[in-house]
């Protein structure tokens, strides 16, 4: 079992006297910067000139150019999108790194795919929250935590381990638990969910919708059943409260039998082959190469795929149910 670190296992003093720099003030950047400040540190914020910079100023930070913070900081958190990190790192960060600096990533992507050349005497760590930025902040403000994965490169720069854990504590993660992991493991669990789990669920939802419409059902009734009622979310919450299978007891006996007896049918050999293929594409770097090329080409496939998605009749049906959607999304603020 992975080693799990909680608040009492971690000493934040290792960060005292080290200048913490944060590059990026977006989803994770804003949340982590505010949490680190509320944990008693004075992070320096770096951002290019855009709306995020103005948000940081509104929150009371002085915002600096990225190369300035790269020069000043001893511990530098890279909280900009993974796909822009290699260029920003190459142009504005790497020329300013000094021996014993520590670079902290919030995902394993660029370390695992080796897109960033790291000097031997710079520590490389990962503190990857398993939580969206907004909730990283909300939970912290309410005295709660969230899980995160931590990792460090084995380059003999030992303080990196203590710094990774101290940062995990400063952002509030060790209130729940920081799991010792690796850059590779973070990439595998993240991309595999993105390429198998979520698209599998989305595709099944679309097939469910299409078949029921063909069978004469009303699109708006089906859309409500599918996700707009909020039952989907309640089932996911019940999985946490009662267990992955334990929540089945909240459904009728007919439902329980239907689900358990038909579950294995949903995994024919073709699906199992696709699961293997996705894992191979992710771990070999084939997907990374495809995605890098797509970005270099100006994302033509991404645009086509988006268009195809939003042209689906489910989206039209959803639009007709806008009032219902707003009420379910925010029951206390909306009225029918
Ligand atoms: P984001 O999309 O919110 O990033 C926006 C920030 O990046 C802004 O500060 C913007 O000024 C800056 N930025 C964008 N393009 C730039 C460029 N070309 N040059 C300089 N700055 C640029 O990023 P997000 O989602 O917070 O992701 C940051 C890191 O956190 C990534 O490594 C991601 O994998 C990781 N992560 C994200 C999670 C999430 O909830 N979004 C969850 C866990 C990890």
Alpha-carbon distance of 137 to 172, in angstroms, equals 9
- Predicted local confidence at residue 321, as pLDDT: 93
- pLDDT on residue 149: 98
Q: Which of 81, 113, 136 to mutate to test the pocket of ligand 1 (most atoms within 8 A of CB)?
A: 81
**pLDDT tens-digit readout, 222-237:** 999 999 999 999 999 9
Ligand 1 contacts CB of residue 223 (under 6 A): no
CATH code given to domain 4-181: 3.40.50.720
* Whether residue 92 has pLDDT greater than 90: yes
**Residues above pLDDT 70, as percent of the chain:** 97
Question: How far lies 186's CA from each of 36, 120, 127, 158, 270, in Å?
Answer: 23, 22, 10, 21, 26
Q: Is the pLDDT of residue 278 over 60?
A: yes
- What's the pLDDT tens digit per position in 38-54? 999 999 999 999 999 99
Residue 155 has pLDDT above 80, yes or no: no
- Nearest Cα neighbor of 314 from 180, 188, 207 is 207
Q: Is the pLDDT of residue 156 over 90?
A: no
Is the pLDDT at 157 greater than 70? The verdict is: no
Q: What is the pLDDT of residue 332?
A: 65
Chain centroid to CA 109: 12
* Residue 333 pLDDT > 80: no
135 CB less than 6 Å from ligand 1? no
Residue from 27, 49, 138 whose mutation best tests the ligand 1 pocket (most atoms within 8 A of CB): 27
Q: Which atom of ligand 1 is nearest to the CA of 24?
A: 9
Domain ranges of the chain: 4-181, 186-329
d(CA 261, CA 263): 6
Burial of 256 (0-12, 13-18, 19+ CB in 10 A): middle
Say if residue 336's pLDDT is above 80. Answer: no
Would the CB of 88 count as within 6 Å of ligand 1? yes
Ligand 1 midpoint to CA 85 (Å): 9
Within 10 Å of residue 38's Cβ, how many Cβ atoms? 14
Instruction: Return the ligand 1 atom nearest residue 136 CA.
Output: 40
pTM comes to 0.93
Is the CB of 92 inside a 6 Å radius of any atom of ligand 1?
Answer: no
pLDDT value, residue 153: 87
Find the 131 Cα to ligand 1 centroid distance in Å: 14
pLDDT digits (tens, 9 = 90+) for 302-329: 999 999 999 999 999 999 999 888 888 8
DSSP element (H, E) containing 128: strand 123-129
Distances in Å between the alpha carbon of 291 and those of 115, 204, 296? 13, 24, 9
């Amino acid at each position: 079992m992975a080693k799990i670190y909680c608040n009492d296992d971690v000493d934040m003093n290792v960060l005292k006297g080290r200048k913490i720099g944060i590059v990026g003030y977006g989803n994770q950047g804003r949340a982590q910067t505010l949490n680190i400040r509320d944990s008693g540190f004075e992070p320096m914020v770096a951002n290019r000139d855009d709306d995020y910079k103005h948000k940081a100023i509104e929150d009371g930070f002085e915002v600096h150019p990225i190369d300035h913070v790269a020069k000043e900081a001893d511990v530098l958190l890279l909280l900009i999108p993974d796909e822009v990190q290699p260029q920003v790192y190459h142009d504005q960060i790497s020329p300013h790194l000094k021996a014993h600096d520590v670079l902290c990533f919030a995902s394993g992507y660029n370390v695992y795919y080796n897109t960033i050349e790291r000097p031997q005497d710079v520590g490389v760590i990962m503190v990857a929250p398993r939580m969206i930025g907004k909730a990283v902040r909300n939970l912290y403000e309410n005295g709660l935590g969230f899980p995160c994965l931590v990792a460090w490169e084995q380059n003999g720069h030992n303080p990196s381990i203590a710094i990774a854990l101290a940062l995990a504590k400063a952002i509030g993660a060790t209130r729940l638990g920081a799991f010792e992991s690796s850059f590779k493991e973070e990439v595998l669990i993240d991309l595999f969910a993105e390429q198998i789990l979520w698209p599998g669920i989305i595709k099944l939802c679309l097939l469910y919708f299409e078949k029921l419409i063909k069978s004469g059902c009303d699109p708006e009734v089906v859309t409500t059943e599918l996700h707009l009622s909020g039952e989907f979310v309640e089932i996911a919450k019940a999985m946490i409260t009662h267990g992955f299978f334990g929540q089945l007891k909240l459904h009728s006996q007919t439902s329980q039998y239907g689900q358990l007896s038909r579950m294995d049918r949903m995994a024919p050999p073709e699906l199992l082959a696709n699961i293997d293929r996705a894992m191979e594409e992710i771990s070999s770097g084939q997907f990374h190469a495809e995605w890098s090329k797509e970005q270099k080409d100006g994302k033509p496939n991404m645009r086509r795929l988006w268009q195809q998605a939003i042209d689906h009749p489910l989206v039209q049906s959803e639009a007709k149910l806008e009032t219902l959607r707003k009420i379910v999304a925010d029951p206390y603020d909306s009225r029918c």
